[in-house]
Structure 1
Amino acid sequence: MKIFAAALCLFILQIIVILVLEYRRPQRAVAWLFLLFCCPPLGLLIYYFLGRDYRQSRKLKAHAAGTRRVLHDYAAERSQLITRMEDTGNPELSSHKELLRLLDGLSESLVTGRNASRILVNAGEAYESMLEAMESASEHIHLEVYIFRNDATGERFQDVMIRKARQGVKVRLLCDGLGSRKLGRRFLRPLASAGVETHFFLPSLASLFGGRFNYRNHRKILIVDGLVGFTGGINIGDEYLGKDPKMGFWRDTHLRLEGDAVYYMQHVFLKDWQLVSGERLSHPRLFPVHGCEGTEGVQIIGSGPDGEIDANQAMIFAAICAAESRIWIASPYFIPDPAILRALKNAVLRGADVRIIIPSKPDSALVYNASLSYLDNLLDAGVKFYRYRKGFMHAKVWIADGLLASVGSVNMDMRSFYTDFELSAVLLQPQRIEELANQFRRDLEDSETVDPYVFRQRGELARATEEICSLLSPLL
């Protein structure tokens, strides 16, 4: 009886701890309580390793404050900042002044006007453009990815980094400690010998015992000489070229940028580099004066648990609320929070065409079932869903009317919104927005419509699996 009473007290104590620490995030609290009921002896222990709030980290706060000066002194001074609607080059924005004001207040990265972008719609095209830019480097190469594979593609990037480092170019490589955990000494030793500096963001074992295992760096950034930048959904690996026999063809979107926006990508990289390496880089040569004559409006938005605002979630929510005619989304994972869910339903009610492309084949059964759990409710509301059939849909793209569009690493899920370190490029130029819209139309041709009637006929076991995964979805 005493053992039972002690166990009950421990169980109640665990419930109280989770409710106290997660009261600002009810969905996460429910998910953690569900896990606690499933394995009561280990609930608090699992929470310690996976659920602690990153925002409380003193190191994180110190590093974030220390690097704001880099942005103010270099990026802002060298950029043409957009503060007036007429400077965006987008007539549709003229009736949405509040949207531009919101974008301007979301993050340390501001809306800039002297940019030129190029949309890259597959890894083959992206890799060739990235490698070409790296070959041209004379000052520095900054590469930051979630996944870096030790395969043929990884070796191509390794060869270029080694060669450029030996030519005197400063090469810095930042990989996520979990996503790139398979990079071993055999791959890293030649990089180090050539002078390439490599660091891993929250290595698996250290982050597990530090209670930070659940927080990952999901950004994809390449910056060459502070003049050319790349971002999007593509990591470094053979599977992105469609060489994984399980996943097959890989549909992704990346972006090449020149101009002011590259300064802000550099700023994000420098913040991450300082957090991981302890080295504060702030030399003016990292922010050289560029000669880009482009006139595209672009904003780089970095978000993560180090920010006071969940900037990418706020940006997407605001754009959905502003859209009147269309909201088109492509994402491999669809686990929206209540605010995004409500905004999508409201958009349908006011007559917007809301279309969402998700994969037909999952790379994670747990996440895929969680995504499917949201379809019933949204299909009833009039949202149109499509399953991509040509291969695996990994692009992270969304389009709101002709107002703006986004390309980046941000999935339409709560992990990207609140837990992971992410980066997106918001495009304001009508031509780029329509280019993404045309690619979306081509993707629709390679997709099948999710018929609401047929979808509702799935079995009870499938429904139960989806509901369980939905309960856990805030943690996925």
Structure 2
Amino acid sequence: MQLLWIIAALLLFIIQIASIIILEYRRSNKAIAWLIILFLFPIFGFLLYYFVAKEYFCHRTLRRKKNRHWESFKSDLIHRCKQRIAIDMVEETVCQEDNLHALLKNMPSIPITACNETTIYAEGEQAFEAMLESIAGARHHIHIEFYIIRDDNLGTRFERLLIRKAQEGVQVRLLYDGFGSRRLGKAFLKRLQDAGVETGCFFPPVAAFFDKRLNYRNHRKIVVVDGKIGFLGGLNIGDEYLGKDPAFGYWRDTHFSMKGDAVLWIQYTFLTDWYLVKEQIITDSVYYPVQESQGREFVQIVKSGPDETILELIFSLIVSAKKRLYIETPYFVPDPGILLALKTAVISGIDVRIIIPDVPDKKIVYYASLSYVQELLQAGARFYCYQKGFLHSKVIISDNLACSGSANMDIRSFCGQFELNAVFFDGKVIDRLVQDFFRDLSLSQEILLPEFEKRPGIQKMKEVFARLLSPLF
């Protein structure tokens, strides 16, 4: 009898292994990670896989939300933006005919927009003050979407201002991610709702778990005021983003405010997310006003998620570089294609420099990041650890183009999270981002290969284990 139980358990285990291999045969890295979890936790591991590893396209409810109305509206918006691009405004940068520019011009999601003005914020205090000032001046609507919202001092400032604007008759809509803002109390939301603020939770954790979509998180950070000014970047709403968390100290981030046609697409991103959560179609022209900006910057908003990944763009930025490739990221977990592209860039003689934090906020991700350092150092890349505090900035500079926003240089951001980035073509914006990069470089310590190879064996073991599980981060 005991032998039969052993045989049954063994058969069940084999079936679980076979299921993962069959379902993940297209994603071998994830298959290996899940098999490791299954071997470590035989029953629990498969249950975890069942609830969190389901492909995004398998969700019928999500597929139904791909409304034709949005596609028609997007086509009209694209046509409208193209009408605003005068022939004499088209700069040589946008018209280059290399593979990267061809990709950017032919991306199916959002086109290159003109008539933009961009302001860059390298610190949270400046960015938040600009957001709060813009919100205070709102006359018609305020749209806010963040991965993390905290009920702390900074969160209270936003809360009180949003309540005041709602009481003044301004339409206020707030979206937050169910997982990232899981600690946000009901009292905070109730105070907003009682004042007339509409709120929405992107995939509430419990419902998302049983609907097998817990693994898909909305990592975007958006503020749109009256459809005329938009904010995006790496900051969430919380005191730590002001450098007030003793565990991290100074918080280095990159955030942007924009005026011009790019704002229309930040707005479009928010309202499609609002539709996904609330099933409300909002396409009235008052939310997409004619932009008053007389700027001459070209900007492309890049909306990505499990159904429209940013991976192709990141890969193209790397392989198209001819002279320089500068990367800042809090999490460095490249997939095999990105890793090969970086090695190829280094071997080709391109100046590849990567800044990562010296102080980790997630140790397993930190060890996974370090596992990629040695082989890239051996290839000739240069790595630096930021020393002043925590580096949360997400920037890629490839020759005379830059990409920045909410997406990290990791597999989750590439394929599993809803992100919002911007590609910048304007020389002044690029120059400012390069200046910020070299300022961060001066506050960083370079990782030298001979010293790095001497790290303790226990750390190397942690790196190996973290790297094996990295496709699931």
Q: Distance in 2 between matches of 1:435 and 1:397?
A: 12
One-letter amino acid of the counterpart of residue 57, structure 1: H
Q: Distance in 2 between matches of 1:76 and 1:151?
A: 43
Q: Distance in 2 between matches of 1:83 and 1:293?
A: 12
One-letter amino acid of the counterpart of residue 139, structure 1: H
Q: Distance in 1 between matches of 2:390 and 2:4?
A: 55
Q: Which residue of structure 1 lines up, in the alignment, with residue 433 of structure 2?
A: 436
Q: Distance in 1 between matches of 2:85 and 2:333?
A: 33
Q: Which residue of structure 1 lines up, in the alignment, with residue 52 of structure 2?
A: 50
Q: Which residue of structure 2 lines up, in the alignment, with residue 281 of structure 1?
A: 282
One-letter amino acid of the counterpart of residue 327, structure 2: I
Q: Secondary structure at the match of 1:421?
A: strand
Q: Does 1:360 align with 2:358?
A: yes
- Identify which range, 319-328 or 51-60, moves more after superposition: 51-60
Contact 1:265 1:300 in 2 (8 A): yes
Q: Distance in 2 between matches of 1:82 and 1:441?
A: 33
One-letter amino acid of the counterpart of residue 66, structure 2: A
C-alpha distance after superposition, 1:202-231 (max 9, x if no partner): 111111111111111000011111111000
One-letter amino acid of the counterpart of residue 427, structure 1: F
Matches within 5 A, 1:6-85: 6-66=8-68, 67-74=70-77, 76-80=79-83
Contact 2:301 2:420 in 1 (8 A): yes
C-alpha distance after superposition, 1:334-373 (max 9, x if no partner): 0001111111111112111000000001001111001111
Q: Distance in 2 between matches of 1:41 and 1:281?
A: 45
Q: 1:228 to 1:400 in 2, by over 3 A?
A: same
Q: Distance in 1 between matches of 2:380 and 2:86?
A: 36
One-letter amino acid of the counterpart of residue 451, structure 2: V
Matches within 5 A, 1:216-235: 216-235=217-236
Q: Secondary structure at the match of 1:112?
A: strand
Matches within 5 A, 1:91-170: 91-92=92-93, 95-170=96-171
Q: Which residue of structure 2 lines up, in the alignment, with residue 200 of structure 1?
A: 201
Q: Distance in 2 between matches of 1:230 and 1:47?
A: 36
Give the deviation of 1:105 after TM superposition. 2.7
TM-score under structure 1 normalisation? 0.96
Question: Which stretches in structure 1 are left out of the alignment for 5+ residues?
Answer: none
Q: Distance in 2 between matches of 1:79 and 1:170?
A: 29
Q: 1:160 to 1:76 in 2, by over 3 A?
A: farther
Give the deviation of 1:79 after TM superposition. 4.8
Q: 1:16 to 1:2 in 2, by over 3 A?
A: same
Q: Which residue of structure 1 lines up, in the alignment, with residue 417 of structure 2?
A: 420
Contact 1:80 1:114 in 2 (8 A): no
Question: Which stretches in structure 2 are left out of the alignment for 5+ residues?
Answer: none
One-letter amino acid of the counterpart of residue 339, structure 1: G
Query: Of the candidates 310, 319, 323, which is equivalent to residue 321 of structure 1?
Result: 319
C-alpha distance after superposition, 1:243-262 (max 9, x if no partner): 00111000000000111111
- Identify which range, 72-81 or 250-259, moves more after superposition: 72-81
Contact 2:121 2:255 in 1 (8 A): yes
Contact 2:99 2:320 in 1 (8 A): no
- Identify which range, 36-45 or 353-362, moves more after superposition: 36-45
Query: Of the candidates 448, 465, 469, which is equivalent to residue 468 of structure 1?
Result: 465
Q: Which residue of structure 1 lines up, in the alignment, with residue 260 of structure 2?
A: 259
Q: 1:104 to 1:149 in 2, by over 3 A?
A: same
Q: Distance in 1 between matches of 2:225 and 2:41?
A: 49
Q: How many residues align?
A: 470
Q: Secondary structure at the match of 1:361?
A: coil
Contact 2:93 2:425 in 1 (8 A): no
Q: Percent identity?
A: 47
Contact 1:255 1:407 in 2 (8 A): no
Give the deviation of 1:425 after TM superposition. 0.7
Contact 2:142 2:170 in 1 (8 A): yes
One-letter amino acid of the counterpart of residue 124, structure 1: E
Contact 1:75 1:260 in 2 (8 A): no
Q: Distance in 2 between matches of 1:340 and 1:273?
A: 32
Q: Secondary structure at the match of 2:297?
A: coil
TM-score under structure 2 normalisation? 0.96
Q: Which residue of structure 1 lines up, in the alignment, with residue 442 of structure 2?
A: 445
Contact 1:14 1:43 in 2 (8 A): no
Contact 1:64 1:271 in 2 (8 A): no
Give the deviation of 1:434 after TM superposition. 1.0
C-alpha distance after superposition, 1:79-114 (max 9, x if no partner): 557698x8543x455544432221133342111111
Contact 1:162 1:194 in 2 (8 A): yes
Q: Secondary structure at the match of 1:415?
A: helix
One-letter amino acid of the counterpart of residue 59, structure 1: T
Question: CA RMSD of the aligned region, Å?
Answer: 1.5
One-letter amino acid of the counterpart of residue 441, structure 1: F
Q: Distance in 2 between matches of 1:151 and 1:112?
A: 37
One-letter amino acid of the counterpart of residue 368, structure 1: Y
Q: Distance in 1 between matches of 2:427 and 2:386?
A: 26
C-alpha distance after superposition, 1:226-283 (max 9, x if no partner): 1110000000010001000111000000000111111111111111111111111111
One-letter amino acid of the counterpart of residue 335, structure 1: V
Contact 2:140 2:170 in 1 (8 A): yes
One-letter amino acid of the counterpart of residue 72, structure 2: R
Query: Of the candidates 329, 341, 352, which is equivalent to residue 331 of structure 1?
Result: 329
Q: Which residue of structure 1 lines up, in the alignment, with residue 177 of structure 2?
A: 176
Q: Secondary structure at the match of 2:46?
A: helix
